[in-house]
Amino acid sequence: MTKSKPYSPQGSGWKTLGMYVGLSAIAVIMLLPLLWLIGTAFKSPSENIFQFPPQLIPTEPTVQNFVKVWQTNPFGRYLFNSTLVAVLTVSLNLLFCSLAAYPLARLEFRGRQLIFTAIIATIMIPFQIVMIPLYILTVQLGLKNTYLGIIFPALASAFGIFLLRQAFQGVPKELEEAGRMDGCSEVGIWWHVMLPAVRPALVTLAIFVFIGSWSDFLWPLIVVDRPEYYTLPLGVAKLSGTFSLDWRAIAAGSVISIAPVVLLFLLLQHYIVPTDTGTGVKG
């Protein structure tokens, strides 16, 4: 019979320290491109942006790059378009995904598992395969060069249905039964009981959908050819031709485009915490 080794607090401390050092190194490596981008956006024309080792902090910081980009391009319009498209995409995605996930999670009907399996199987289909049929359908519906045409492929997602279905399945049945005793219909239970109970999952899905919609470049490039409907990714791509690869201006435009996403995450990150839905049930 072998004896187990005694617990060594000192060894555990070194292991924890090594883990934190490794994670910190990975975080620094991942943040370096972002820090270089921000530093380049504030550098003056006299500073070298390609020197090695890179200089992350500008010696002569200036906001002229932002002013130049804003004055020579309709970035206000691009920002409005991206905001409108992202807000509509998030709202409609949460609505349709939750409506689809609720019956798949809580109602009993024939073919439920088959429908859910078919929905999940669509995750394996690359967007490039369905891109041409989607474009043809969008044109036939008269949605080209419209906001609805931009958000059309993202009205619902298999990932969103899966995420909310799993969240709905974790809601105690007692809450659902209490809603029925109060006279709620299925729609009422979905709205008044289920959605508040899975709010963390809704916020998580909203952040994922917002980031995906905000940073989407390929689909808006295909379905939009009028500058008044350009989103921020298309506007930033346009900078490479406007300023003949002026990296300071391109970096300034990129910082403008990513700032709302970072701000949204900082505002909503404390909501991405699992909540105990069972606390609403009396013992």
Is there a domain that residue 1 lies in?
no
Same domain assignment for residues 87 and 206: yes
What is the number of structural domains in the chain? 2
Question: φ, ψ for residue 219 (rounded to 5)?
Answer: -65, -45
Per-residue pLDDT tens listing for the chain (283 residues): 555 555 555 557 788 888 999 999 998 888 888 888 889 999 988 888 877 777 888 888 899 999 888 888 898 899 999 999 999 999 999 999 999 999 999 999 999 999 999 999 999 999 989 999 999 999 999 999 999 999 999 999 999 999 999 999 999 989 888 888 888 888 899 999 999 999 999 999 999 999 999 999 999 999 999 999 999 999 888 887 655 677 888 899 889 888 888 888 888 777 765 544 444 444 4
Q: Which of 189, 186, 216 is nearest to 93 (CA)?
A: 216
Q: Distance between CA 67 and CA 51 in Å, rounded?
A: 25
Which domain, by its residues, includes 124? Answer: 68-280
Residues 38 and 101 placed together within one structural domain of the fold = no
Considering the domain architecture, whether residues 111 and 41 belong to the same structural domain is answered as no
Whose tokens are 């279905």? That residue is 165
Last residue of a domain, one of 18, 37, 62: 62
185 and 270 fall within a common domain: yes
Same domain, 143 and 276: yes
DSSP letter for each residue of 211-263: HHHHH--HHHHHH--SGGG--HHHHHHHHHHHTTS-HHHHHHHHHHHHHHHHH
Q: What are phi and psi of 245, to 5 degrees?
A: 60, 50
Considering the domain boundaries, does residue 212 fall inside one?
A: yes
The answer to whether residues 14 and 42 belong to one domain is: yes
- Considering the entire predicted model, what is its pTM? 0.82
Q: Is residue 3, in this structure, part of any structural domain at all? A: no
In angstroms, the CA 44 to CA 59 distance is: 9
Buried b (16+ CB within 10 A) or exposed e, 216-240: beebbebbbeeeebbbbbbbbebbe
Q: Are residues 37 and 130 in the same domain?
A: no
**Nearest 5 degrees, angle CA 75-CA 67-CA 213?**
30
The amino acid sitting at 242 is: T
- Residue 4 in domain: no
Q: What is the DSSP string of 115-132?
A: HHHHHHHGGGS-HHHHHH
